[in-house]
Structure 1
Amino acid sequence: MDPGDDEHMTFGQFKISLAKQLTQQNCDNLCVYFECSRSTKGRIATSNCPQRELLDELTERQKILKDDVTELEKALRELEEYKVADFVLDYQQSFEHDDIFTQDVLTDEEGGDDETHGQGSCSFDTLLEIIGLKDRFPGNLTLANLCYVTDPDMENDEASLSDLFWQKLGALDYRARSSDFLTSCMKDLTPKISVRDFIFAFMHCADSFLRQDVLEKMSACQLAVPIILQGVKGIKSTFLTWSLRRIVKEWKRVNFTAMEHHIVTVPIFSVSFLRIGEIKDFSKSKVINYLIGPLQGHHKFSYFLSKEDETCSSRFSDGCVEGVWYLPTNSNGSEKLKWIISILNLRGDATGFTAATKFICKSANLTMPL
């Protein structure tokens, strides 16, 4: 059974299918890898089904969980059992495609017409064609497609927009997400597109491993990262928990104790911001940027892209949830926020994205409607 072919595969079904693929030698090697005791090894070896007994043991020791089997995948790859490791990976990735936001999926038609978004609006297919990713949707863009050695005599004109974006982001240059950089790369191409729409399309084309790299580098640049990727063209919205798992943050407590953790594994006080209805001449993102920047004694920085940062309005990325983490240093007398805080920002009018709104309201400790 392939996890990708069955959206409703349970953890129990996964273990049954996995047990059929493991050999006795695999069990022995995994026992050594996970440092099982001699008595445990004997019990597993003499059981009627050593494979199932081993998986039950790893479950009891919380080495594999219902929603996290990455440690088992890592072990299998180190043991060079790549086929079985790929099966485990497929099960892990299936969690990113759960139907938790079935209500909030936009098609090109639902995104609005050209009159609504102004002259020069385009369909999602046209957007993919402009950025050179029409053949990569959905999820077919890999790291190997972007990391290659080019002819040193090749002109920049020959590089696609996604190539230039990755080169900039790979150098940990925060300007990769700037409107000026995108405009300079597009040159005379029309219609113009927003940075948010470009990143939205890029993430939909990227596979799970590339998403990890992109989010890790964006977070390292202190840029807001997608937490929930809004659906489009029949692709359901995605909660990017697996893609966020490599992000590591460091901060200081009030007592100046340094902390460093994978951010998705740490319970954090979270605040969600959402906008209800249309508000002219007001930017929710600008308020958040000021709240965690100058108000805390830090320099001005666009953690979230605001209206002032864009040359044109976004069309497809509304409904996405972006997040940043405020990391206190407690070395600045102007800091008013003394604890690490997760800040979630729902893009667009909250009344148009019911499922995403319910999700962030329930998951956040504090909700700020504007």
Structure 2
Amino acid sequence: MKSLSNATICTKVSNVVQVHDGSPIHCEQTKESFKSPVSGTALAILQTREVESKTNETERFMNLLERLALQKYYSKNMHTGDVCVVKSAMRTKHPRTEQELASYFLQKLIMGNYEARYVRVQSENESYETMNNNENSNYDDFFKHDDTLSRRKGLATNTQTHIHPMDLQMTIYHCGDNFVRQYIYTKLSFCQFALPLLVPNPRSSEIEFPLWAFRQINKNWKCRDTSTNTLQTKSYEIVNADTPLVSFIRFGESPTSKSQILNSLLSKQKHGVFFNRNCKGSSRNGLLMEGVTEVAWYCPSGRDDDVFNDCITFTNLHGDARRHRKQVQFLHEISSYQCDTDVRL
């Protein structure tokens, strides 16, 4: 992972992020990165508040399980027989209660429908057309800070109590056994979504690396041999693919969504690879994505408009990196490049 032959990675992202080559960075530099946004005293206060809020987060998580009617499945008590059940009635309606959200999400995912990630309860006063309005997140939206922030404030005002779409996905993850997780990962990959790579336990300080869940994921891409100018087709199980890895992290608060930056770089489809603050259903009351590191792959198709000529792995740490030292240390060890979003953007 440390070797990186394609130097264009740096030039492609350096206009929006601070890029560090992974090899020459020393521990002292990493420590300074943590100290630079806040003083040591402020960091200690942040850590104290994090410990004090853990109990509250656990209570919120248990309440979330109750709202979704998934208490009996936690933890790892959901099996493939509970997931692979086709209910045709769900294909023609939106869920009316929070207890139906998990079933509706899983049915959408089984059918390979990317809208599974945007499922939410339809209120009695909300029309079908309103529920199905797609959020367009193209590259130009990234620069519209005023519009972005105003939309987010509106979402936070109007959707304070609804269940965050990624909380739904991650709750099912925590309830599923290893085979269910592997099945869900395969379907999420089919829908061109990012996958959880490092997952904090909602009831402890442990961080999980679910390698087994990636076992059935295969990636195919085409790259051009510069010496012969011919296309080469490559196909690998992703756990065995040796690709450069670029990690995105954020220090402090930023008006810019790094997930949206990544989407503009990676996605040519109408839905983003990474869920971000501007996606449909997003709100400030999310619980389970804090500290989660997601992973996605750029797989070129051999066309002239490819951003990169070879497969590149991208990871995205959600939340303030100052509060997630273990994840940052892990990403530093495996990354070819580490990209820090600049809070001054």
TM-score range, shorter chain: 0.5 to 0.7
SS, match of residue 184 in structure 1: coil
- Which of the residues 260, 282, 301 maps onto 2:256? 282
Residue of structure 1 equivalent to 2:288:
316
Structure with higher RCO (Cα < 8 A, 6+ apart): 2
The 8 Å contact of residues 96 and 122 in structure 2, kept in 1 or not, is answered as: no
| Structure-1 separation of matches of 2:330 and 2:288 | 20
2:85 aligned with 1:162 = no
Residue of structure 2 equivalent to 1:234:
204
- Which of the residues 246, 253, 256 maps onto 2:223? 253
2:70 aligned with 1:133 = yes
Q: In structure 2, give the amino acid aligned to 1:258.
A: T
SS, match of residue 122 in structure 2: helix
Residue of structure 2 equivalent to 1:33:
none
Q: In structure 1, give the amino acid aligned to 2:256.
A: F
2:156 aligned with 1:182 = no
- Which of the residues 280, 292, 301 maps onto 2:266? 292
| Structure-2 separation of matches of 1:315 and 1:123 | 8
Cα deviation, 1:210-264, whole Å, max 9, x if unaligned, reads 0000000000110011111111113722101111111011111213221111111
Residue of structure 2 equivalent to 1:343:
314
| Structure-2 separation of matches of 1:133 and 1:360 | 32
Closer, same or farther: CA 129–198 of 1 in aligned 2, 3 Å? same
| Structure-1 separation of matches of 2:52 and 2:161 | 16
After TM superposition, the structure 1 = structure 2 runs for residues 1-370 of structure 1, keeping only pairs within 5 Å, are 109-110=53-54, 123-148=60-85, 160-178=100-118, 181-184=119-122, 191-234=161-204, 236-254=206-224, 255-279=230-254, 281-293=255-267, 298-309=268-279, 310-313=281-284, 314-331=286-303, 333-370=304-341
| Structure-2 separation of matches of 1:367 and 1:190 | 34
| Structure-1 separation of matches of 2:88 and 2:271 | 36
Contiguous gaps of at least 5 residues in structure 1: 1-102, 114-121
Q: In structure 1, give the amino acid aligned to 2:112.
A: L
> C-alpha displacement at 1:186, in angstroms?
11
SS, match of residue 339 in structure 1: coil
SS, match of residue 308 in structure 2: coil
SS, match of residue 192 in structure 1: coil
| Structure-2 separation of matches of 1:186 and 1:302 | 28
The 8 Å contact of residues 142 and 207 in structure 1, kept in 2 or not, is answered as: yes
Structure with higher Rg: it is: 1
Contiguous gaps of at least 5 residues in structure 2: 1-46, 127-158, 225-229
SS, match of residue 204 in structure 2: coil
The 8 Å contact of residues 271 and 364 in structure 1, kept in 2 or not, is answered as: yes
> C-alpha displacement at 1:205, in angstroms?
0.6
Cα deviation, 1:44-71, whole Å, max 9, x if unaligned, reads xxxxxxxxxxxxxxxxxxxxxxxxxxxx
Closer, same or farther: CA 149–347 of 1 in aligned 2, 3 Å? closer
Cα deviation, 1:141-169, whole Å, max 9, x if unaligned, reads 1111123366979x965872211111000
The 8 Å contact of residues 221 and 311 in structure 2, kept in 1 or not, is answered as: yes
Cα deviation, 1:33-52, whole Å, max 9, x if unaligned, reads xxxxxxxxxxxxxxxxxxxx
Report the aligned-residue RMSD. Answer: 3.1
The 8 Å contact of residues 172 and 217 in structure 1, kept in 2 or not, is answered as: yes
TM-score relative to the length of structure 2: 0.66
| Structure-2 separation of matches of 1:150 and 1:328 | 37
> C-alpha displacement at 1:367, in angstroms?
0.4
SS, match of residue 311 in structure 1: coil
Q: In structure 2, give the amino acid aligned to 1:110.
A: K
> C-alpha displacement at 1:273, in angstroms?
0.1
Cα deviation, 1:173-207, whole Å, max 9, x if unaligned, reads 111012xx224399999831211222121111110
The 8 Å contact of residues 248 and 340 in structure 2, kept in 1 or not, is answered as: yes
| Structure-1 separation of matches of 2:332 and 2:257 | 20
| Structure-2 separation of matches of 1:336 and 1:217 | 25
Q: In structure 2, give the amino acid aligned to 1:138.
A: S
SS, match of residue 54 in structure 2: coil
Closer, same or farther: CA 273–234 of 1 in aligned 2, 3 Å? same
Give the number of equivalent residue pairs.
Answer: 251
SS, match of residue 275 in structure 2: coil
Closer, same or farther: CA 149–167 of 1 in aligned 2, 3 Å? closer
Closer, same or farther: CA 215–107 of 1 in aligned 2, 3 Å? farther
